[in-house]
Structure 1
Amino acid sequence: MADKQGFLTKEGGSIKTWRKRWCVLKNGSIYYSKNANSCELGTIHLKNVTNVVQSQRKKKNLFEVETPDRTYYMKATSPDEMQSWINILNKTLAKMKSSASAGQPTKERVGVEDFDLLNVIGKGSFGKVLQVRKKDTGMIYAMKVLNKKNIVERNEVDHTRAEKNILQKLVHPFLINLNYSFQTDDKLYFIMDYINGGELFFHLQNEEKFDLARVRFYCAEIVCGLEYLHNCGVMYRDLKPENILLTADGHICLTDYGISKEGLLSDDDRTATFCGTPEYLAPEILKGEAYGKAIDWWSFGTLVFEMLSGLPPFYSSDIRIMYNNIMTQKLVFTPQFTQESRDFITALLERDPNKRLKDAKVIKSHKFFAGIDWEKCVRKELVPPFIPPVKGKNDTSQVDAGFLAETAKLSAENHTSKLSSSLQKNFEDFTFVNDNEHLMHKNL
């Protein structure tokens, strides 16, 4: 999770113009971009910073971040905000220097033996997710475990690489954060933030449906997350209630990029792999056509309908009937849908992707979102309509009891599950420690 984030006005490098930048302090670096949903990040690594002080230049709320190569001038919105940035940056610097003087390496080597296994908190075709505790710090994380042999046999090596790349590179308030990744001869491990407010699916099952204000709040945060992914060239491909977590303070967090596709930077870029969860598949996927990022907005429309009514719009327990419904069935609304929500969902569930509502800016301006302050939304300043009843960082009360009933253990390695050295090459460079070195270094 970010230590601090918000807008600062930053002086440019070669061209001394002042530009408003969204700044995120995370993992010992400041990442800055044009706005919270822009992927064009520049980076200031705190390991290179020698000093953070209030500037003597005649500008209000100005502070300096000094490095051997350059001094960054950053202007805050108020004296209190300036002091808040100075304090947390100096606190972070002190921690880093303390670790360095104690002889701790910048990049620690981490393996499964460094974690206590606490609970099973999720399962799927990919493997399982465990709640774990890091032995040396006591920090609670979520450990996603994948079997290498299954990945190779199901031809999902590229998907797994993409998942790691996406988790490693992207920084956004509504996306899950990767802390470490490592491997053994037979398994891959992702160590992510433990988000303990429960899956949206869990809460939707318990309550059957949500009121309009709550749906609008979740939808606004999901739109910001999807917009950011799309701006970064990522097609999510698996938006559903099971992949949306609630934080302890009630905000959403998108997780599981196991079938996401990266590298789709242009609106015209297409792919054709048949994948996703049946209830949320767009018609163009079912037709076997090449498709673009518009499929995520179809899934989003399905999700909006489901949150308001309790079921996806074309649902059937018979998957063949459901696919036929997605292709041909008329959209039917029950009385609880307002006119704005009907118009919104209808535009999202347009079967022709060329006519579908798929521009994030247009989506944000729809009457369904009347009254939403989008800058406050992405800063997590909107008040969540529901706060999960959790007690402490290791609370599992919002996890499905069926998962918790299982014993938290890892299957033992055996010779039949190990891969040949040639197949092991598929997983080279998988190891990752989230310190300062993994994001783009492009200066804005």
Structure 2
Amino acid sequence: MESPSPSDSLQFNLETLKAIKFLGKGATGTVFLVHDIATDLTTRSPFALKVVQRSNNGGDRRARWEIGVLKMLHHPFLPRLLGYVETDEFFAWGVPYCPGADLNVLRNRQNDGVFSAGVIRFYLAEILCALEYLHSLGVVYRDLKPENILVQWSGHVTLTDFDLSRSLKKKPLSEILSYGEKHGRQLSPEIPVRCKCRVKIIRWIAGKNRYNKAMKKPKSARVSPVNRRKLSFSNGERSNSFVGTEEYVSPEVVSGDGHEFAVDWWALGILSYEMLYGTTPFKGKNRKETFRNDPKMRLGYHGGACEIKEHPFFEGVRWDRLTEVLRPPFIPSRDDGELTGKSTAGQIDIREYFHSLKAPSSMPPSPLRSSSSKHRRSVSFTEF
């Protein structure tokens, strides 16, 4: 994938971008809620700005990569690039602001720390569509976890942070279809998701799903790496990087034998379990059990998203109606500012903010981290 050029994307002026809030700090960048004083003096249209300080440890290349991925995206459950800027000190790019925090925060706000079956089905369906779209572009996400799934103003979800993603050779559609025919199943290609919001949540699924009774909490569907070898960004069939979040990393990533799109389906399974039970399935002493799981037996390995959509858990889901849902399980309030951090003492200059940091310890903690996420280790890397 080529790096973006100044002529084909909106250019920001870092001097006119002022921070309203500090939103969080990740492995590679710092995120602020900002507005452009040149076009939005009254802060009516704030957006999220990710800022990465330039360095020689691979961060520059990953920043360019993430900007390049965002430029390709045009999907209701994925962010769109609002603009970017590159200076001698920083890379920065803007995406729409999501005020509903992340699924980890939202899950922990529930009385018993888990979601109902209906809520899980709704969120998983949207995440599945987002991953399906990424895979159709030849991009494997590799960092699916609750903290990277944000809730938009509309209540629909969006994935974030694409610095661990990479480009892989897409599996031919003929291979997917032939696998379905061989096993007596009709696996259809991706169904376009329409961008409308005119129906209530109960109409996006037809009939009753048998899994509602089998799963606990039959209640309302509402809610109160270290790199192993140096790799380039050229297309390849498999990646050997050790990336992701420890409890979500697939066995083939741990073993270093090479991995492909199936790592996202592994992570989707871990996410499903955590949403239902409040913990991940292979935590602590059970981690070694992951080494013995064959990725070729994994749901979605052969047929991708089409195969997962055929699972009985999604029985009756009308995939083309997801974006038409008017009332998702949770819609952020305009007053939900406590979910995204405290306002800064007046608007601050982003460049001055970084210059004022004398040491990493002076960085305020991310307000998006909940008590349950402090034990979750992110596996980072220095090179792809």
Of 309, 313, 335, 1:364 maps to 309
Answering whether residue 249 of structure 2 is matched by residue 294 of structure 1, we say no
Answering whether residue 297 of structure 2 is matched by residue 355 of structure 1, we say yes
1:387 offset after TM fit, Å?
Answer: 2.5
SS in structure 2 at match of 1:129 = strand
Answering whether residue 104 of structure 2 is matched by residue 201 of structure 1, we say yes
Specify the alignment match of 1:49 in structure 2: none
TM-score (norm 2): 0.66
Specify the alignment match of 1:238 in structure 2: 143
Amino acid at match of 2:305: A
Q: Which structure would you say has the larger RCO, counting Cα contacts within 8 Å and 6 or more residues apart?
A: 2
Specify the alignment match of 2:116 in structure 1: 211
1:194 offset after TM fit, Å?
Answer: 0.9
TM-score (norm 1): 0.58
Specify the alignment match of 2:361 in structure 1: none
Against the structure 1 CA distance between its residues 179 and 407, is the aligned structure 2 distance closer, same or farther, given a 3 Å change threshold? closer
Specify the alignment match of 1:390 in structure 2: 333
Do 2:98 and 2:150's aligned partners in 1 also have CA atoms closer than 8 Å? yes
Specify the alignment match of 2:164 in structure 1: 259
The equivalences for 1:20-59 within 5 A come to none
Do 1:202 and 1:399's aligned partners in 2 also have CA atoms closer than 8 Å? no
Report Cα offsets for 1:311-355 as digits up to 9, x if no partner: 111123xxxx46424335xxxxxxxxxxxxxxxxxxxxxx21111
SS in structure 2 at match of 1:397 = helix
Do 1:235 and 1:264's aligned partners in 2 also have CA atoms closer than 8 Å? no
Of 102, 123, 132, 1:227 maps to 132
Specify the alignment match of 2:179 in structure 1: none
Report Cα offsets for 1:251-289 as digits up to 9, x if no partner: 011111011002432369211111111010000001111
Amino acid at match of 1:175: L
Specify the alignment match of 2:89 in structure 1: 186
Q: What is the root-mean-square deviation of aligned Cα atoms in Å?
A: 2.7
1:223 offset after TM fit, Å?
Answer: 0.6
State which drifts further: 261-270 or 362-371: 261-270
SS in structure 1 at match of 2:82 = strand
SS in structure 2 at match of 1:249 = coil
Report Cα offsets for 1:406-427 as digits up to 9, x if no partner: 996531299xxxxxxxxxxxxx
SS in structure 2 at match of 1:396 = helix
- Distance in 2, matches of 1:123 and 1:238, equals 16
- Distance in 2, matches of 1:106 and 1:277, equals 33
Do 1:213 and 1:385's aligned partners in 2 also have CA atoms closer than 8 Å? no
1:400 offset after TM fit, Å?
Answer: 5.3
- Distance in 2, matches of 1:213 and 1:372, equals 11
Report Cα offsets for 1:48-105 as digits up to 9, x if no partner: xxxxxxxxxxxxxxxxxxxxxxxxxxxxxxxxxxxxxxxxxxxxxxxxxxxxxxxxx9
Greater share of strand = 1
SS in structure 2 at match of 1:259 = coil
Do 1:129 and 1:144's aligned partners in 2 also have CA atoms closer than 8 Å? yes
Q: Which has the larger radius of gyration?
A: 1
Amino acid at match of 1:125: A
- Distance in 2, matches of 1:310 and 1:261, equals 29
Amino acid at match of 1:355: M
Identity %: 34
1:389 offset after TM fit, Å?
Answer: 3.6
- Distance in 2, matches of 1:363 and 1:376, equals 18
Structure 2 portions without partners, runs of 5+ = 1-6, 173-235, 358-384
Specify the alignment match of 1:411 in structure 2: 354
Of 27, 32, 36, 1:134 maps to 36
- Distance in 1, matches of 2:347 and 2:255, equals 42
Do 1:186 and 1:413's aligned partners in 2 also have CA atoms closer than 8 Å? no
